[in-house]
């Protein structure tokens, strides 16, 4: 996938994410949440990095759960842990956004907190 196509895919994913109904996004930390807010994502976001992840599963009822951890080793480990834990509890987290963002930004960003800066630089270049 060439650079322009990858950037277009990232932009389309962000727009699609904004339009998803009943979303709860799981991120590693506060800076990840802030980056998503700067991109105009208004869904409920919960930080899950570095602690016992879930004490109360009721927050997931009726939600489209989207996991957006970083793409480094620690983020991949957390992504898999969250996915498995949620699946064991009977939830079906959406992994599409994470896997597609990871592939589309490979070599450009490693953390969700970098996503807004990446998008802004592409806007300045006139690519999106």
105: CATH: 3.40.1360.10
- Total of domains in the chain: 1
pLDDT digits (tens, 9 = 90+) for 33-48: 999 999 999 999 999 9
pLDDT digits (tens, 9 = 90+) for 79-101: 999 999 999 999 999 999 999 99
Flag whether 36 is in a domain.
yes
Flag whether 128 is in a domain.
no
Flag whether 24 is in a domain.
yes
% of the chain beyond a pLDDT of 70: 96
pLDDT digits (tens, 9 = 90+) for 14-34: 999 999 999 999 999 999 999
pLDDT reading at 67 higher than 80: yes
Predicted TM-score of the model (pTM): 0.92
Other C-beta atoms lying within 10 Å of the C-beta of residue 112: 25
Flag whether 43 is in a domain.
yes
Give all strands of the β-sheet with 23-27 in edge-to-edge order.
44-47, 23-27, 64-67
pLDDT reading at 51 higher than 70: no
Helix residue spans in 25-72 (DSSP H): 30-38
pLDDT band of residue 55 (cuts 50, 70, 90) is: confident
- pLDDT for the residue numbered 115: 95
| Domain that residue 7 falls in | 3-123
- pLDDT for the residue numbered 52: 62
Helix residue spans in the chain (DSSP H): 3-19, 30-38, 73-88, 96-105, 115-124
């Amino acid at each position: 996938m060439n650079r322009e196509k990858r950037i277009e895919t990232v932009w389309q994913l962000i727009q699609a994410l904004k339009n998803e109904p009943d979303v709860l996004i799981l991120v590693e930390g506060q800076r990840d949440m802030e980056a998503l807010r700067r991109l105009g994502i208004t869904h409920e976001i919960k930080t899950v990095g570095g602690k016992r992840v879930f004490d109360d599963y009721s927050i997931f009822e009726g939600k489209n759960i989207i996991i957006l951890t970083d793409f480094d080793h620690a983020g991949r480990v957390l992504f898999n842990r969250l996915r498995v834990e949620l699946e064991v509890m009977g939830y079906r987290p959406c992994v599409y956004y994470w896997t597609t963002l990871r592939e589309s930004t490979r070599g450009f960003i490693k953390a969700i907190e970098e996503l807004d800066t990446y998008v802004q630089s592409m806007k300045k270049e006139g690519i999106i």
